[in-house]
Amino acid sequence: MDNREHEIIGSIYDAAVDVNLWPQVIEKIVQYTDSKTAIFTALDQFSPSYDFLFSHNIPDEALHAYRDERIRVIDMQLHRVLWENLGVGQVASSDLSHYGENPESDEYIFYERCLNPTGISYISAVLLDQGSHRWAVLGLHRAPDAAPYQQKELDFLKQLGVHLRRALQIHRQFSLVKQENLSLYSVLDHLKTGIILLDHNLRLNYCNPLAQRMMEQGSCLDLDLHNRLKTNIGDQSRLDQLLHSALLGQSALNADVGGVLSLSDAKGQQLMLTIVPCSKLKNMQHQNARQHQIAVFLTDMHQHYALSQAYLQQAYQLSKREFELCELLLNGYKLEEIAEHCGITLSSVRTYFKNIYEKTQCNSQIELMHLLMGCTIHFEHIG
């Protein structure tokens, strides 16, 4: 991986906590892949506060059309077929010039409103999220007279997809903070992600319950006598480097700001740390500037899947018990094991899932599993 690729990946995490940086990130990707235009969009019909749209070099006419909810839904539904045999995290490449052939079709509407004004034909895109009412994608475009995308470029886009998906998960969690208008600590205490806040002396002054458990259950991360983070000798210098770069923030000219670090111990615990300046977290700006300087997000690579209860209740009206059964199913429990775990009969479990299928409009356990995978609130782990 060359320096430009490292720079692009680093900028993705900056934009994850400051959405104003996405246009710069997309421009870098367009230039690196010799593309003409690009669009990065996430749509969730059940959670509009999560929606966003960023682009590069797309004319106002096409961009205005794409901001139309109807066009965005057409885009989501129209291109779902591209991913049927691929799945989230995969890349598709195609020539869309044939979209303009049938005036009665959704393809034609999309072509006339979005593709034709932009003068593009070849696309390559990485799918970042997918569901019956949501999707997220980064699409790159080239003009009809340009060469199609090559495998090297598609491999790079797939690699970026892992980091973009993690950035979307960070964005979703903070959009929930804004949507619910809850106090910062109330939200952090209940997030399914470990969070540590450090002051201007790099001393820990807040650690949510999940982060506390992660630190107590392994030896990847600990505190020294000054209440500063410490890890094994081999990783300590890198951890210190990331923390100090986040502390310097924007004053660190031409330097990385924060970053990502993977830690492991002899007992098999593996933690992923994402380190960012608190100045980039919009929901922390009301806090004392000296009290919170750095946020450290912790995820356990071996942790079970956790679902967003608030989202599932809002989107599908699942009861507390139905939510519990869904989470057990997602984590590999068989129906018989779910019945034993919950202290209910197998017949009751089947009745619960019948109701869950109706509420979620799923026709099979596979469909339900696919939907639930899109409702997890753990970050994606990046090796």
pLDDT over threshold 80, residue 334: yes
Q: What SS3 string covers the chain? A: CCHHHHHHHHHHHHHHHCHHHHHHHHHHHHHHCCCCEEEEEEEECCCHHHCEEEEECCCHHHHHHHCCHHHHHHHHHHHHHHHCCCCCCCEEEEECHHHHHCCCCHHHHHHHHHHHHHCCCEEEEEEEEECCCEEEEEEEEECCCCCCCCHHHHHHHHHHHHHHHHHHHHHHHHHHHHHHCCCHHHHHHHCCCEEEEECCCCEEEEECHHHHHHHHHCCCCEECCCCEEECCHHHHHHHHHHHHHHHHHHHCCCCCCCEEEEEECCCCCEEEEEEEEHHHCHHHCCCCCCCCCEEEEEEECCCCCCECHHHHHHHHCCCHHHHHHHHHHHCCCCHHHHHHHHCCCHHHHHHHHHHHHHHHCCCCHHHHHHHHHCCECCCCCCC
226-237 tens-digit pLDDT: 788 999 999 999
Within 10 angstroms of residue 233's Cβ, the number of other Cβ atoms is 7
Domain 184-300 has CATH 3.30.450.20: yes
Tell me the CATH architecture of domain 3-178: 2-Layer Sandwich (3.30)
Mean pLDDT along residues 214-220: 86
270-279 tens-digit pLDDT: 887 878 887 7
pLDDT over threshold 50, residue 253: no
Q: Hey, where are the domains in the chain?
A: 3-178, 184-300, 309-373
Q: With a threshold of 0.85, does the pTM exceed it? A: no
Domains 184-300 and 309-373 share a fold: no
Tell me the CATH architecture of domain 309-373: Orthogonal Bundle (1.10)
φ, ψ for residue 261, nearest 5 deg:
-140, 135
Mean pLDDT check: name the lowest of 55-59, 165-169, 281-285, 336-340.
281-285
Mean pLDDT check: name the lowest of 125-134, 179-188, 325-334, 345-354.
179-188
Highest mean pLDDT: which range of 34-38, 77-81, 349-353:
349-353
